[in-house]
A and B are shown apart, each in its own frame.
Chain A
Amino acid sequence: MAEQPAGAPAAPTDATEGDFTFTLNGRPARGRKGEMLIAAAERAGVFIPRFCYHPRMKSVGVCRMCLVEVTGPRGAALQPSCYLEVTEGMEVVTDSPKVKKAQDGVLEFLLVNHPLDCPVCDKGGECPLQDQTLAYGPGESRFVEEKRHFEKPIPISDLVLLDRERCIQCSRCTRFAAEVAGEAQIDFSGRGEMIEVSTFPDEPFSSYFSGNTVQICPVGALTAVPYRFTARPWDLDQVESTCTTCAMGCRVAVQSSANRLTRILGIDSEPVNHGWLCDKGRFAFESVNAEDRITQPMVRRDGELVPTTWSEALDQAAAGLRRAMTDGGPEAIGVLGGARLTNEGAYLWARLAKGVIGTDSVDAQLGDGLPAETVLGLPRATIAEAASAATVVLLCGDLREELPVAFLRLRAAAVDGTTALVELAPQRSALTPLTTSFLQYRPGDVVELARALTGTGGPPQGVDAGALESARQHLGSGDVVVVLGRPSLAEDGAMVAEAAEVLAGLPGVRFLSALRRGNIHGALDMGLAPGVLPGRVGLEEGGAWFERAWGSVPARRGRDCTGILSSAAGAGDDESRVTALVLLGSEPSVDVPDRDLARRGLGGASFVVAVTSSPGEAVDRADVVLPAAEAHERPGTTTNIEGRVSRVAQKLVPPGQAWPDWMIASELARYMGSDMGIDSMAAVWAEIERLAPAYAGITADVLDAPWARDGVVAPFAGAPVSQAAVPLDPIAVPGVESVERQGAPPRAGSAVTPTAGPDGQVTVEQGTGGQGEGRPPVLAGPAGINAPHVAPTDSYSFRLVVGRTLYDGGTAVAMSEALTPLVTSAPLRVNPHDLDDLGITTGDLVRVRTARDSVVVPVAADPGLARKVVATELNVPFGDVTAGDLIDATSPVVELRLETP
């Protein structure tokens, strides 16, 4: 249905706020323009029962549960409150006998065909239909007829099962698929009583967002394979937290039973995820439960890793690092990784590396990111600003693969027609069909393209002039947000950074980072990158401040990931070779795109400390293994793509002897002879707030304030005056806030305290925005990147594009039982004309020669690619090798020759 006032308008959580007054059950209430009556009533404390209404989707008004009496010109009539906009002076009654009878009637009708199998239903105990039947429904069943029958649960995807007998036809799942995800692979079929949700034969609902349908289903019709029968709601215990599977920072409820994670639900955070999660974030928790977790400190003795005590392991680690320092100075130590840490952990590791050891060769980005100064220095936009900007420039990978919920937010903006998308990329993405201009460039041409866009250069060859012209018009709007990430991992990040800095010349432009790895933004903010110190300050500008606090800082700028690994591998100047590596939850051979370099670097180091929770090549090579607690096993904070700092919560006791990351750093410092004076996580946060300029003012009190439930954006500008929020969908977050409101006793644990809206009682200091009190200035403005020049190629060469796919060989997927089968193989995609020239077609093999190597892989035609450009994805099966085997981190673009094998 077209042009329908959606449930979208954000309503403040404050019931006293509004544009006008209406009458609700005889009392005055405040309504807002464009607000649905059901939402206005909810703000005023009157909960109207519902099934089909979802505050983040367009109303359809079909279940008829939300009928209330509204007085109109022809007297009082029953109206669906989810479909009726509240208006000034409206008279509404929600509790009359007539309303009650209508609602009882709907419930009874729903039960006509609904099986009474609550005791064996996954939803039993947290089912709105069950709850409302208890709370509102008629006492006894008057229904003696045979119910509708369907074959019991049928899979509609690898992750979701459907029991059609339980379906109440609310269309929440089908609307989610079509309206939110844009993937209408499930739809109603049939008519009347026989309506069922169905997929097309052999075309499952293979959406990255399928789990949301399970969460928003008001009954037990849709169930998730990983959760089915694992727990009953009343055994569950939950906390509210932040997902760190990617860097979006979606708010979640984490539920466990008997110290095992059982389920993760999305919580509606207005600035971030609007209640949605991707399936990876929802289901990858299985990795935390994995059997083969690293849970014990280990040291290598006679070539074998053997379990040991923490004190021996720390002793050995300290000794090995001291030895390296003695031999080669502090720069002989390189620290890789950190995106899996909390902010607190990242900060203490940065302090250990830079303040205690004295090396600046620290990098949380693993060759797949962008120079830290660029990310930190460019003017920033929030997610909400991007989703409401006049123009969004996509200079990043495929967001659906890399930051799935950011994709949903931008998709919604583009579908709304409020935001024009301009995409700069070497290959198409899931957002490409929604762009107003798609500027496809050849790897290596991105800087030239950026110049052409800003009018400081001519267009690179092959870029569509019409699209360029239309893009330029949109870029003049003064309200432009560039989403900045890595369009291809086979193209030097410095080139993208330089292109971004060119675009920074556009009027009114701001940037939203699309770096994707877990808490990468927290790690960068805490200084886990060469050239920077905690709180987004440069090594140079901040050196004196941190020297005063820490005692010392590195004498000079260190190496980045590629530099560290190359040096460890034995390349370059011998004088300050990296000989010892500290791996902070990183797995170089998987995480670093240039796999050969990763292996050589790891092999070349003479001493390796792995701080980790999962087995792999890093552990196999390590001399000391320090077991770290994982997500959901330790409290702390995290920082997302927009710089939003929010709490992550501890739900589980860490397995075995695993420690939280900050504690490992603090203890290791002590073993290295330098007590950092930290005895608690709270103390770390206090130090961050005091020392890290961009985090000034974000005290623990601020983070715990009810209005800061969604976290606060750093630099902190002070508490919001009023805060927009959409009432939670109670059906999707049972136990979080809903059960109470629906009149049934709470069953799921209620570790999450409901918030009543902005709380005037909390006193907050006005934020300083990170400046003042002698603090060094936060980075601002372009870093002045000069990317390496790309030599023109001969006409036989192909250029390689390497993207990412959500389900890859990364640790989270590899260790989650439900997700591993979803990893598919990635053939080398080639323009069909180029395939014709080679005389081969989809499915055939091709020999790929690079400067280093030659491999044979299968090909597939991709008409979306330019001629002489080939593409594939990182970390998925690719012939006998992985795309990482083709990438050369020291070369700005990767050139290939294709031959028939």
Chain B
Amino acid sequence: MSGHLGPDILARARQLISLYPEPRSALVPLCHLAQEQDGWLRPEAMAEIAELVGVTPAEVQGTASFYDMLHLEPVGTYLVSICTNISCMLDGGLELLEHAEEHLGVGAGGTTPDGKITLEEAECLADCDHAPCVQVNHRYVGAQTPETFDALIEDLRAGRRSDEIPSHGTLIRVRRDGGLRADPEQVASERAAMAEAKARRAAEAAEAAGGEGGS
């Protein structure tokens, strides 16, 4: 099953795994990485992730399918998420969604025939002071009116926003520089020393308290 993830992605996957005490913890970050490569979570990628973190492919699929951002089916280049939750609803979120469905010709959850845009009805995106709130590939694009929305779609289709908004799946463009810095052995010895010091301080404190009580 291995061989689906490209060498760069695989190297980053291995680094991610090394950051956690247990490999399975890297499962979700690895799914993001696979989406960075393919735009969505292909079965081949899930099978490879299973191998990398030591679970069954069914467990990767089961876990990934719990999360809205992990897509088990293909997604357009741009995932446009319109929030209709309470704050945005109060500011016309539902109406904006309706407009978007009409404008794009697809219902929420659908992808335009050209494969460019997937429309999604989102729950609160934590940007309620810019309601109704819209994200494209999880980048905030500010409050939208029907007019600005149409312009935004046009920009996306024309590739005018691609600097700021990478194609779907690329979540974090800043790479961690390096693995863990504190060497586990050093950490272990520090831990022991810390525990010892802590015990000593506790004993001293107890003694001091005892002394006061006695006087």
Chain A residues with CB under 8 Å of chain B are 178, 183-191, 198-201, 203
10 residue pairs A–B, Cβ–Cβ below 8 Å: A184-B58, A186-B58, A187-B56, A187-B58, A187-B59, A187-B61, A191-B65, A191-B67, A199-B58, A200-B61
Query: In the complex, A188→B47 CA distance in Å?
Result: 16
Interface centre among B43, B55, B62, B63 (most CB of A within 10 A): B62
B142 in the interface, Cβ–Cβ < 8 Å? no
With A185-B58, A187-B58 in contact, do A200 and B65 touch (Cβ < 8 Å)? Answer: no
B66 and A190: CB pair below 8 A?
Answer: yes
Q: Chain B residues near A199: list those with CB within 8 A.
A: 58
Residues of A within 8 A of B43 (CB): 200-201
Q: Mark B60-99, 1 if CB is under 8 A from A, else 0.
A: 1111011100000000000000000000000000000000
**A191–B66 contact, CB under 8 A?**
yes
Size bracket of the B interface? 10 to 19
- Does the CB pair B58–A200 fall under 8 Å? yes
Residue in chain A with minimal CB distance to B57: A200
- CB neighbours of B56 from chain A (8 A): 183-185, 187, 200, 203
Known: A184-B55, A184-B58, A203-B57. A189 touches B65 (CB 8 A): yes
Query: Assuming A200-B43, A200-B46, A201-B43, is B59 touching A184 (CB within 8 A)?
Result: yes
* Residue contact B62 to A187, C-beta cutoff 8 Å: yes
Q: Which residue of B lies closest to A190 (CB)?
A: B65
Contacts of A183 in B (CB 8 A): 56
B66 lies within 8 A of A198 (CB): no
Given contacts A185-B58, A200-B60, 8 further A-B contacts (CB under 8 A): A183-B56, A187-B59, A187-B61, A187-B63, A189-B61, A200-B47, A203-B56, A203-B57
B47: nearest chain-A partner, CB-CB = A200
Nearest to B72 among chain A residues (CB) is A189
What B residues does A198 contact at CB under 8 A?
A: 58, 61-62
Closest to A156 in B: B58
**How distant is A200 from chain B, measured CB to nearest CB, in Å?**
4
Q: Which residues of A contact B67 (CB under 8 A)?
A: 191
Contact B66 A203 (CB under 8 A): no
Q: For the complex, what is the distance from the CA of A188 to the CA of B56, rounded to whole Å?
A: 13
| Nearest-Cβ distance from residue B67 to partner chain A, whole angstroms | 8
Bound-state CA distance A374–B47 (Å) is 47
A178 to B24, CA, bound (A): 15
Q: How far is the CB of B201 from chain A (nearest CB, A)?
A: 30
Nearest CB on B from A164, distance (A): 14
Which single residue of chain B is at the shortest CB-CB distance from A196? B65
Give A310 to B60 CA distance when docked, in angstroms: 62
Distance between A430 CB and nearest chain B CB, rounded to angstroms: 15
With CB as the reference atom, state the residue of chain B lying closest to A188: B62
Contact residues of B between 22 and 70, Cβ < 8 Å to A = 43, 46-47, 55-63, 65-67
Q: How far, in whole Å, are A201 and B73 apart by their CA atoms in the complex?
A: 13
**Residues of A with C-beta under 8 A to B46:** 200
Inside 8 A of A184's CB, which chain B residues have their CB? 55-56, 58-59
CB closest chain-B residue, reference A204: B58
Provide the bound-state CA to CA distance between A762 and B127, in Å.
75
Closest A residue to B46 by CB, please name it. A200
**What CA separation (Å) do A670 and B46 show in the bound complex?**
69
The residue on A at minimum CB distance from B55 is A184
Residues facing A in B5-33 (CB within 8 A) are none
A192: nearest chain-B partner, CB-CB: B66
Output the nearest chain A residue to B63 by Cβ-Cβ distance. A187
Tell me whether A189 and B57 are in contact (CB under 8 A). Answer: no
The smallest beta-carbon distance between B34 and chain A, in angstroms, is: 15
Bound CA span A191–B46, Å: 18
A1 to chain B, nearest CB (A): 14
When C-beta atoms are compared, the residue in chain A nearest to B62 turns out to be: A187
Complex-state Cα separation, A186 to B56, whole angstroms: 9
Provide the bound-state CA to CA distance between A898 and B60, in Å. 41
Q: Measured between alpha carbons, how far is A243 from B63 in the docked complex, in Å?
A: 38
Residues of B within 8 A of A200 (CB): 43, 46-47, 56-58, 60-61
Q: How distant is the Cα of A178 from the Cα of B63 in the complex, in angstroms? A: 14
Closest B residue to A197 using CB positions? B62
A178 contact set on B, CB distance < 8 A: 59
CB-based nearest A residue for B50 = A200
- Complex CA–CA separation, A187 to B67 (angstroms): 15
Interface mask (B98-124 → A, CB under 8 Å = 1, otherwise 0) = 000000000000000000000000000
- Closest B-chain residue to A201, C-beta based? B43
In whole angstroms, how far apart are the Cα atoms of A201 and B61 in the complex? Answer: 10
Chain A residues near B62 (CB, 8 Å)? 187-189, 198
Nearest B residue (CB) for A185: B58
Q: How far is the CB of B56 from chain A (nearest CB, A)?
A: 5
User: Which A residues touch B59, using CB under 8 A?
Assistant: 178, 184, 187
Chain B nearest Cβ from A160, distance in angstroms: 14
Task: Report the separation of the CA atoms of residues A63 and B137 in the bound assembly, to the nearest whole angstrom.
Answer: 37
Q: Which residues of B contact A189 (CB under 8 A)?
A: 61-62, 65-66
Residue in A189, A190, A191, A199 with the greatest tally of chain B CB atoms within 10 Å: A189
Smallest distance from the beta carbon of B54 to chain A beta carbons, Å? Answer: 11
A178 CA to B47 CA, complexed, in Å = 17
